[in-house]
Amino acid sequence: MPKLTLAEIARLCSAEVEGPTGQVITGLAALEDAQPHEAAFLADMRYRSGLEVTQAGCVLLAPDVPCERKDLTLLRCSDPSAAFTKIIEAFALAPEPVAPGIHASAVVDPSAVVDPSACIGPLCSVGAKAHIGAGAHLVSHVAVGQSSVVGPQSVLHPMVTLYAGVRLGARCCIHSGTVIGSDGFGFQPGPAGWVKVAQGGGVRIGDDVEIGANCTIDCARFGDTVIGSGCKIDNLVHIAHNVRMGDHSMVIGQSGVAGSSHLGRWVILAGQVGVSGHLRLGDGARVGGGSKVYKDIPAGETYIGSPAGPMEESLRTMAFLPRIRTEFRKLKERIEQLESRP
């Protein structure tokens, strides 16, 4: 198990030490659970009470946060959360090196191109004319469809499926159970029931994209569904056909974006957001958790609510609703009293 002195940790995260300095840190923990050999941090003031009871060997803390305890070693730094991430990385076990090559149980079509430095793990399937780039790693049980491309240094975790015609950029990370390129949801009523609308497009994903577990990204009806470079997608997210996400946008868990909507650069959708189809969300737009978006959002605006609206306006409406309900109840009682008179 790695061990770091307080001086080493302070250098690692550019922090100033306050208090005892003799402790050796061998692990990390939450503020309330930390023991004398563990480091913790406080970045959210809602958890400040934990500072009074923690037994941590050291606590990362912003310079302006007061702490009266003299028995507690503090590491003062401007961004405790970011600093703690550096410590996590220092304690993380180095991944085992991956040997390039194709596992004996994998099935690779003879027309597929696999870079010699790529690793195709157990029970993977690589379709005809697919291309696996340098240093790419298909961990196990991964299916790469016909003519799909996996870019250099990308990692596909177990049970990931790329349908035909998916193009995945460099240094992407796709977590288990995610399906990319399945048919968009398109049906038209016919005399005998629903008639499937052909979905003939693909999916194009940029570089440095991370997609969580059990996500679904549909192929386009025509052209491409596009996920820009640097985008981050949480678990259990659905991106429908012909959606376009601009570079560095982020979609958080259980959110869904309906067909043909376009998200600009650096857009953030919080958890359980629903975006209706054929909408435009401008660069830097943000949508609060649980909101339902039915109209375009201008660049840089923050919308919340259902239906979603500008944050300040929606908050005023939410604050006013209890008063409306109270007034309505009084009016109803008054009407009933008037109607009950002879």
Q: What is the mean pLDDT of residues 226-248?
A: 98
Measured CA to CA, the distance from residue 164 to residue 129 in angstroms comes to 10
Q: Are residues 301 and 231 in the same domain?
A: yes
> In which band, very low, low, confident or very high, does the pLDDT at 326 lie, cut at 50, 70 and 90?
confident
Q: Based on the domain organization, do 111 and 258 belong to the same domain?
A: yes
Q: Which one of 22-36, 71-85, 263-277 scores highest in mean pLDDT? A: 263-277
Q: Which of 285, 277, 272, 184 is nearest to 234 (CA)?
A: 272
Q: How many domains does the chain have?
A: 2
Task: Give me the CATH number covering residue 125.
Answer: 2.160.10.10
- Please say if the pLDDT value at position 338 is more than 90: no
User: Mean pLDDT for the chain?
Assistant: 93
Tell me the CATH number at 52: 3.40.1390.10
Q: Is 248 a catalytic site residue?
A: no
The whole-number pLDDT of residue 105 equals 98
- How far apart (Å, rounded) are the C-alpha atoms in residues 126 and 146? 8
**Which member of 141, 238, 241, 262 is catalytic?**
241
Considering the domain architecture, whether residues 12 and 151 belong to the same structural domain is answered as no
What is the rounded average pLDDT of the residues 203-217? 98
Count of other CB atoms within 10 angstroms of residue 90 = 15
If asked whether residues 184 and 243 sit together in one domain, one would say yes
> What domain range is 63 assigned to?
4-91
The pLDDT score that the predictor gives to residue 210 is 98
- What pLDDT does 111 receive? 98
Q: pLDDT for 239-289, tens place per residue?
A: 999 999 999 999 999 999 999 999 999 999 999 999 999 999 999 999 999
Together in a domain, 193 and 152? yes
Residue 341 within any structural domain of the chain: no
Q: What is the mean pLDDT of residues 44-53?
A: 89
| Residue 239 and residue 123 share a domain | yes
132 shares a domain with 52: no
Are 129 and 217 part of one and the same domain? yes
Chain centroid to CA 190 = 39
At residue 94, the pLDDT reads: 65
Last residue of a domain, one of 91, 121, 154: 91
Give the bridge partners for 292, in sequence order: 274
Domain membership of residue 322 (yes or no) is no
Q: For 153-207, what is each residue's pLDDT tens digit?
A: 999 999 999 999 999 999 999 999 999 999 999 999 999 999 999 999 999 999 9
Residues 203 and 276 in one domain: yes
